[in-house]
Amino acid sequence: MTRNRITPLIQDPSGIVGYLPQRSYLARKYQGPATKDQLWTVEQLNTSIYEPGTQLSDHFEVVDKTPTEIVVRCGDSPRNAGPREADGLLVLSAEVDKEHGEVVVGLKSVFFDSSRKVEGIQGPVPYWLEVAHRWYARLLTETAAWKLTR
């Protein structure tokens, strides 16, 4: 059970201000017997080491983990393991820059339709939703970085 540099970034997402409304919504909609083995409570989120296969709030599943990054699949329930019309990957990162005495925190996201071949450059979500997600990703990154410095 080894922790790495990235684990504190996503531990207790409920403490990341930007995640509070989403977690609350997902809990009301999906928390129940079918999702009892997923992470829902603050205690579960605080003590997890986010190994691949870890599922959070019936919306995220850790698919890869390195000392500086965690890759999370999103867009639908992790109970739907197959191709999805709304699919996505989030890469959360934290890289220590010892020379400058700082940590570089990052979040990359991509959304796609994994259920079919997509022609052209238009993504699977409307433009307004893409812009809203950019702001949401920024809010998550900023509040996560703020949490690391408290």
98-114 confidence digits (pLDDT tens):
898 888 888 888 888 88
Q: Quick one: tokens of 25? A: 């919504």
Q: Which residues contact 131 (CB under 8 A, 6 or more apart)?
A: none
β partners of residue 108: 91
β partners of residue 111: 88
Q: Quick one: tokens of 68? A: 């500086």
Q: What is the pTM of this model?
A: 0.80
Q: Quick one: tokens of 102? A: 């700082």
pLDDT confidence of residue 14 = 45
Please name the residue that has the structure tokens 């698919």: 63
Displacement of CA 65 from its chain's centroid (Å): 12
Q: How confident is the model at residue 2 (pLDDT cuts 50, 70, 90)?
A: very low
Task: Compute the average pLDDT of residues 39-43.
Answer: 81
Q: Which of 15-19, 27-31, 72-76, 77-81 is the least confident region?
A: 15-19
58-77 confidence digits (pLDDT tens):
999 999 999 889 999 998 89
Backbone dihedral angles phi then psi of residue 92, each to the nearest 5 degrees: -100, 130
The whole-chain average pLDDT of the chain stands at 81
Burial degree of 54 (CB within 10 A; 0-12, 13-18, 19+)? buried
Q: Delimit the domains of the chain by residue range.
A: 7-149
